Chains A and B, each alone.
Chain A
Amino acid sequence: MINNQKDVLMDLVINNKHISIRAGGGRCLLDFLREDLSLMGTKEGCGEGECGSCTVLLDGKAVLSCMTPMERAIGREVTTIEGVGRPGNLHPLQQAMMEEGGVQCGFCTPGMIMSGVELLNRKSNPNRDEIVEGISGNLCRCTGYRKIITAIERAAEKMS
């Protein structure tokens, strides 16, 4: 990406780790995460705020990282899919997505899980309508959504 902007000091918390680095400014948070921090879990589907695959949490709230200027994350807390769980220590929703078959090609999955995690943090026992609303900004071309919805229900059961 061509970037004529000045360097900025990116001082923030990412996945519970404090970082402070100089980076070329004027880009979206998605590019900062992927290009500078090699956090490749967050995906770019459309790059224009339509698909939800770039969803991350900013101070616990789901945002589209392709539409968020990286500077907006300074002094705040960002959670990406890498911070949600790791193999051997998966988040209940990651586990449920595997068990229920909520993943096919996997491209929507990180964003889908971030929206699901935000919903589960907000509401311990969401009903089906609330789940649908929670992920309605996340497009999936493969699964038909039903198994993803079921996975969120299962995760909610397990977490309560």
Chain B
Amino acid sequence: MKVRGIGIGSMVYGVGYGFSRPDFASAEVEIAPDGTVTIWSGASELGQGIRTVLSQIVAQEFGAAYEDIRVISADTDKTPDSGPVSASRSTYVQGNAVLAACKDLKQELISLASELMGVESNLVEIQNGQIAAKDKIGKIISFSKLASEMHVQGRRTHGFGWHNNRTLDVDKNTSQGDAYSSYAWASQLVEVEVDTQTGRVKILRLASATDVGKAINPQLIEGQIEGGAVQGLGFALMEEMQVEQGVFNNANLSTYLIPTAADVPPIDSLIVEVSDPSGPYGAKGMAEPATIPTTPAILNAIADAISKRVRYSLASPENVLKVLGKIDGSGKEGFLLLEDIPYPVA
């Protein structure tokens, strides 16, 4: 028999390292006479798109063309320390450092633009990739003209930024406090179909709503949401590290299975933007938040479908059949029972 169920999984995630641990990034930017800009950042590109996002930040701040921005990243011989890419911190912490480097230089840019256009500097505005005078319609100076003029006049063309994301720690005795500077939220909704004869679980569809603060690059975010959901799907249904006395028994891809294109359900990516003033343009970290709710959502959906809970480390066909009492294990829901989970005592 095939039964269907719906489940939801939700999470809150502290972005960055929190708990007063060191969490900083530095960055540099330099404007060349031809209107190109170079960014130096220790941020490493793993495919999440941080080089793209850093370039977008600089283009936005300087009114430069995105194509004219070059990123030198993650080279200890050349780039300043930006800390690791982890804890969903690259856009949030490393992006903030690049933003600070731009701000370091922006006053220079604006004062020169105000001289060239003959307007007060508070009336100079960088918008839609152009530097314009607020009060004089049509008074516009291009970034590349400004860049070359900076060099002609010997102005400062190199900016440095440092962002410190160190937070307070929680109270040692009560564990209460604000351990992170930013929190991300995410929920996922999953519909499954469980075959009670074979124990096979099929994900019919998945919706993922992730609060990203501000979507600096929606396409990259969708990629993270979809990739995260599919990793969570693997974690729920097929990925199990079989360790025996510290040795992996399934350390290759024929025994440690990960999802293929055939396992992927339709995914609705919902990008939620609740701005966080501490992030660049309000952005928060979102990479891990995209994967955390998937597994609980799937397990909840299975419980909804079969009215029993799978508490094994994964809902493989074998474990589902155990929970259903169809093979040995005789209906036991798994080894991890609620009362086994230690709760902090107030």
Q: Chain A interface (Cβ within 8 Å of chain B)? A: 45-46, 48, 50-51, 101, 103-106, 131-133, 135-149
Contacts and interface: CB of A to CB of B under 8 A. Distances in A.
A143 B269 CA distance: 13
Nearest to B267: A146
Contact of A141 (B229, B231, B261, B264): B231
Nearest to A143: B227
B153 to A, nearest CB: 37
Contact of B223 (A137, A139, A143): A143
12 contacts: A106-B47, A137-B260, A139-B260, A140-B261, A142-B227, A143-B227, A144-B223, A144-B229, A145-B230, A145-B260, A145-B261, A149-B261
Among A46, A101, A133, A135, residue most surrounded by chain B Cβ atoms (within 10 Å): A101
Contacts of B226: 143-147
Contact of A142 (B47, B254, B264): B47
A106 B46 CA distance: 9
B252 A48 contact: yes
A12 B142 CA distance: 54
Contacts of B47: 103-106, 142
A19 B227 CA distance: 40
Interface of B: 46-49, 219-220, 222-223, 226-231, 252-254, 258-262, 264, 267
Which of A48, A105, A144, A146 has most B Cβ within 10 Å? A144
Contacts of A143: 223, 226-227
Nearest to A149: B261
Main SS class of interface, A: loop
Closest 9 CB pairs of A and B: A104-B47, A105-B47, A144-B226, A144-B230, A50-B253, A145-B261, A144-B227, A101-B219, A132-B261
Contacts of A144: 223, 226-231, 264, 267
Contacts of A46: 252-253
Contacts of A147: 222-223, 226
Given A101-B222, A104-B46, A138-B261, 16 more contacts: A46-B253, A48-B252, A50-B253, A101-B219, A103-B47, A104-B48, A136-B261, A139-B258, A139-B260, A142-B47, A144-B226, A144-B267, A145-B261, A146-B264, A146-B267, A147-B226
Contact of A105 (B46, B219, B229, B253): B46
Contact of B220 (A45, A101, A132, A145): A101
B6 to A, nearest CB: 21
Contact of B254 (A48, A104, A148): A48
Contacts of B223: 101, 104, 142-144, 147
Contacts of A136: 260-262
A33 B184 CA distance: 46
Contacts of A146: 226, 264, 267
Nearest to A148: B261
A135 B252 contact: no
A131 to B, nearest CB: 8
Contacts of B254: 48, 50
A132 B252 contact: no
B231 A135 contact: no
